[in-house]
Amino acid sequence: MSEIKQDANKKGLLVVVSGPSGVGKGTVLSKVLESSDEYVYSVSATTREPREGDKDGVNYFFISKQEFEKRIEEDKFLEYAEYNGNYYGTPKDYVEKKLAEGKNVFLEIEVQGAMQIKTKCPDAFMVFIAPESKEALIERLKGRATETQEAINNRIKIAERELRACLIYDRIAINETGKIDECAADVMAAVRAEKLKPERIFDKIKQFIQ
Ligand code: 5GP
């Protein structure tokens, strides 16, 4: 897996969004993404079975384990991880292309993958979405009637581990029950403020001061 090389004149921001399963990352992110055409979403590849309502190429690229392992060999992923018995990975080509176009690319990934991104792309901006309480998270996971009790219990265990990793992120946004818009606004504000950092803007200003 190699690092992303960016054109200094066109610097899209790579934004990593993580948070325990059931916290509502997907809903928060869709609100963020619809707020600007400068924001794009990287659709991941996975070996997990599609859930009801999942669309291939929209929610994920659903591929076989064999195909996923072939793509690992071919270095097609920016990062990948095994989660709850399945592979998930970020296609490198799409992310590189969009960043080069100056778009801000959002990755919705779990913490092992986020740590890989932090090492390989230290410029990435890392946002963690946390639940307001453990009870609220468990309720939301139970509400996903599509999964077995065993799968839900496993997700709760993984959530506890993921919440411990939140300190590696640059920002934490709390998704309080019934306050999705506020959480999305926090994420948007964090991303906008990050883009205003002098070191991210200086390349554009340099030409005036030579
Ligand atoms: P789910 O099965 O609920 O769709 O996703 C399970 C977990 O995998 C979520 O935390 C989700 O953010 C994460 N995930 C989705 N795509 C990727 C990816 O490309 N890479 C990694 N590392 N995690 C991913």
Question: Where are any strands of DSSP class E within 6-119?
Answer: 14-18, 39-41, 44-46, 60-62, 77-83, 86-91, 104-108
The H or E element containing residue 116 is: helix 111-120
Q: Kindly tell me the number of DSSP H helices and DSSP E strands found in the chain.
A: 8, 9
| Span from the CA of 35 to the centroid of ligand 1 (angstroms) | 23
Cα–Cα distance, 203 to 207 (Å, whole number): 8
Please give the pLDDT value at position 97: 96
Please give the pLDDT value at position 5: 53
Helix (H, G, I), strand (E, B) or coil at 89: strand
Please give the pLDDT value at position 55: 97
Q: Which of 105, 106, 110, 103 is nearest to 89 (CA)?
A: 110
Ligand 1 close to Cβ of residue 88 (< 6 A): yes
Please give the pLDDT value at position 65: 98
Rg value, the chain, Cα: 17
Ligand 1 close to Cβ of residue 42 (< 6 A): no
Mutate to test the pocket of ligand 1, among 108, 111, 154 (most ligand atoms within 8 A of CB): 108
Please give the pLDDT value at position 2: 52
Residue 94, judged by CB atoms within 10 A of its CB (0-12, 13-18, 19+), counts as: middle
Ligand 1 close to Cβ of residue 108 (< 6 A): yes
Ligand 1 close to Cβ of residue 162 (< 6 A): no
Cα–Cα distance, 186 to 65 (Å, whole number): 37
Please give the pLDDT value at position 153: 86
Please give the pLDDT value at position 196: 93
Which residue has a Cα nearest atom 17 of ligand 1?
109
Residue 148 dihedral angles phi and psi, to the nearest 5°: -75, 160
Residue 79, judged by CB atoms within 10 A of its CB (0-12, 13-18, 19+), counts as: buried
> What is the residue-level pLDDT of the chain in tens, covering all 210 positions?
456 655 445 679 999 999 998 899 999 999 999 999 999 999 999 999 999 999 999 999 999 999 999 999 999 999 999 998 999 999 999 999 999 999 999 999 999 999 999 999 999 999 999 999 988 998 888 877 667 888 888 888 889 999 999 999 999 999 999 999 999 999 999 999 999 999 888 888 888 887
Sign of torsion over alpha carbons 115, 121, 122, 126 = negative
Atom of ligand 1 nearest to the CA of 17: 12
